[in-house]
Chains A and B, each alone.
Chain A
Amino acid sequence: MVKFTDEMKEGLRVPGKGGSLVYLCTSSLDGKPNIAAMRFVATHMEDKILIADMFLLKTKMNIKENPEVTVAICHPLDEGRWWAFRGKAVDIEYGFPRDFDWYGANATDILNEWGDWNKSEPPDEVPPDIVFPKAAQRGVVVIHVEEAYSIEPGHAGEKIL
């Protein structure tokens, strides 16, 4: 079982609170990869990464057929956040049974705290030519992290969790 470091918990938050922009990498079941940047990110428990399901399309389709994902820090990298986290994801959408459990994470707890993420942590730092005009959150992607490796030059691939 992995356990996030304090630095990871600091880094896996929304950029406006000192966190990071992350890339969520998924794949279709037959191996076609997909990579998309995500702003709404948080940690939960000691080994879960949460990402808002706000405008997910291919990412969502991939997760529904194949839970294997990797989350990598996109920006800022230069602060030592050379991390890539591998694990299994589910998109807990509104309509899931409220007692649904994903490796110990409870759907009710997740949706109660992060189900209206745009309201609790609005994207004030996002440039006006990028930010969306209206939030449309449909759920929360919960990633149960099983391992992490470095993407730091000279150390890429080294296990860090």
Chain B
Amino acid sequence: MTIQLTERMRAWIEAMGCHLCVATPRGVPFVTLGRYASVTGDDEVAFALAQDEYAVISPALSANPWVAFGVSKQGGIRASFQFKGIGRAVTEGPLFTDIATVARDVQGIETYAVLYVKVSEIYCTKPGAEAGQRLDMLPPDEVCEWEKQRWKDIPHKKS
């Protein structure tokens, strides 16, 4: 199924950053913050990670590329989604520089690695009957409509 992050999802991800969760191949989870996030495609998000932040997840990520993430701060309640996908870390080249430059200018982050996550699964995490509802199985237009029926708040991106 085609995945397109909605305008509201994009806004929350970019405004708040995300908590990134990876796991070892035997299932030990680790969490780090992706303070600067940029939606780089319909189904792709890039996170600028400082060296210490990357070091928390690097051993697990190098052995198991799955990444789950949720929006940080108020987004944990207002943006009730979980995103999952395959991550790859980039430490040089234009894919690194493009994100690292903006992350430094906007948030002062000295980026060591840029983590690109290709989102393949989106879940609703709103508590109640819809908790766990898988949204990426719906066509993108229906996901947009589903979301608009529930929430319309869109945060401003950090500048």
Contact = CB atoms under 8 A, between A and B. Distances in A.
A158 B32 CA distance: 12
B52 A27 contact: no
A66 B76 contact: no
Contacts of B50: 153-154, 156
A134 B56 CA distance: 38
Given A23-B70, A35-B69, A57-B131, A75 B27 contact: no
B127 A68 contact: no
A116 to B, nearest CB: 16
A160 interface: no
Given A37-B125, A156-B56, A77 B29 contact: no
B70 A127 contact: no
A133 B129 CA distance: 9
A111 B64 CA distance: 37
A98 B21 CA distance: 34
A74 interface: yes
A104 interface: no
A149 interface: yes
Q: Chain B: interface residue count, which band?
A: 35 or more
B77 interface: yes
B64 to A, nearest CB: 5
Contact of B80 (A70, A130, A149): A130
A76 interface: yes
Contacts of A131: 127
Interface string B9-23: 000000000010111
Query: Sorted from nearest, which 7 A-B pairs have the closest CB atoms?
Result: A132-B128, A27-B23, A74-B76, A57-B132, A55-B131, A27-B27, A156-B52
Interface of B: 19, 21-33, 35, 50, 52-53, 55-56, 64, 66-70, 72-74, 76-78, 80, 82, 84, 109, 123, 125-129, 131-132, 150-151
7 contacts: A25-B19, A29-B26, A54-B127, A58-B123, A68-B27, A129-B151, A133-B128
